[in-house]
């Protein structure tokens, strides 16, 4: 299967899975901010980011935010769509950029932690600026709840990051087997081995020809 077709298929599956998870796994963590609900909808987006990069992750995040904003999270309207994309988009951009340059376990851990911290930090000014505009509350009200908002974002970001870390390798292997995608490193190694064997055969044939000429 072509890499572009493979990417589209996986992103489609991940987008659908994200919407299902948003509907099935959904509950508040702190009663003080019960309107903030934990869900696992970002996990498929994070997985897609590590598989295909930040651009694919951002595109999927935008699509998922719109779908969820008009379905399972319709009560929060455009406010929910904006806040969701700011949080998830920031995580995807930061973590995807880091992992693209360091594709190993250490790089994955640094990417996960950096993305989570970026999420938490960016949502502080986002809540102070955007929430009063859409929710009709004062900045003082948001400040009173800010500690709970930060704690919620810490748990959600790091929790989903941990799930992503545990699932990434398994999901990547599963999709490659499902869509019969050959590993590039193995393909290069196989081509190299084939070329080496071909060169050895040619060399052996040349030696035989030389021996015949001498005899």
146 and 203 both lie in a single domain: no
109 and 18 both lie in a single domain: yes
Q: Is the pTM of this model over 0.85?
A: no
Dist CA 119 CA 14 (whole Å): 21
What is the maximum alpha-carbon separation in the chain? 100
3-state percent helix, strand, coil for the chain, nearest multiple of 5: 85, 5, 15
SS3 for 37? Answer: strand
> What are the Cα distances from residue 120, in Å, to 52, 70, 97, 157?
24, 25, 18, 8
Chain segment 59-88, per-residue pLDDT in tens: 999 999 999 888 887 788 899 999 999 999
79 and 154 both lie in a single domain: yes
Amino acid 200: pLDDT? 58
Chain segment 104-158, per-residue pLDDT in tens: 999 999 999 999 999 999 999 999 999 999 999 999 999 999 999 999 999 999 9
Chain segment 44-65, per-residue pLDDT in tens: 999 999 999 999 999 999 999 9
83 and 140 both lie in a single domain: yes
Dist CA 131 CA 137 (whole Å): 7
25 and 56 both lie in a single domain: yes
Question: Which residues span the domain enclosing 202?
Answer: 184-215
Residue 23 confidence (pLDDT) above 50: yes
30 and 123 both lie in a single domain: yes
26 and 54 both lie in a single domain: yes
* Structural domains in the chain (count): 2
- Which residue is it, tokens 């935008």? 62
146 and 206 both lie in a single domain: no
131 and 170 both lie in a single domain: yes
| CATH number of the domain encompassing residue 119 | 1.10.1760.20
Mean pLDDT score across all residues of the chain: 86
Amino acid 189: pLDDT? 45
80 and 145 both lie in a single domain: yes
80 and 59 both lie in a single domain: yes
Q: Tally helices (H) and strands (E) across the chain.
A: 7, 2
E-only strand ranges, the chain: 26-28, 37-39
CA 155, distance to chain mean position in Å, is 18
40 and 101 both lie in a single domain: yes
């Amino acid at each position: 299967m072509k890499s572009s077709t493979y990417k589209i298929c996986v992103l489609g599956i991940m987008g659908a899975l994200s919407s299902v998870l948003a509907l099935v796994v959904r509950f508040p963590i702190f009663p003080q901010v019960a309107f903030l609900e934990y869900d696992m909808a970002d996990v498929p987006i994070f997985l897609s980011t590590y598989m295909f990069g930040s651009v694919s992750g951002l595109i999927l995040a935008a699509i998922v935010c719109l779908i969820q904003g008009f379905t399972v999270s319709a009560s929060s309207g455009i406010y929910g769509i904006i806040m969701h994309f700011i949080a998830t988009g920031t995580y995807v951009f930061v973590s995807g950029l880091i992992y693209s340059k360091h594709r190993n376990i250490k790089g994955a851990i640094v990417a996960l932690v950096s993305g989570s911290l970026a999420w938490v930090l960016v949502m502080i000014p986002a809540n102070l600026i955007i929430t009063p505009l859409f929710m009709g509350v004062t900045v003082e009200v948001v400040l009173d709840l800010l500690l709970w908002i930060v704690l919620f974002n810490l748990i959600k970001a790091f929790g989903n990051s941990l799930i992503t870390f545990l699932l990434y390798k398994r999901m990547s292997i599963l999709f490659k087997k499902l869509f019969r995608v050959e590993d590039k490193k193995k393909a290069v190694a196989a081509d190299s081995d084939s070329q080496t064997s071909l060169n050895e055969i040619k060399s052996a044939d040349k030696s035989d020809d030389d021996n015949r000429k001498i005899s």
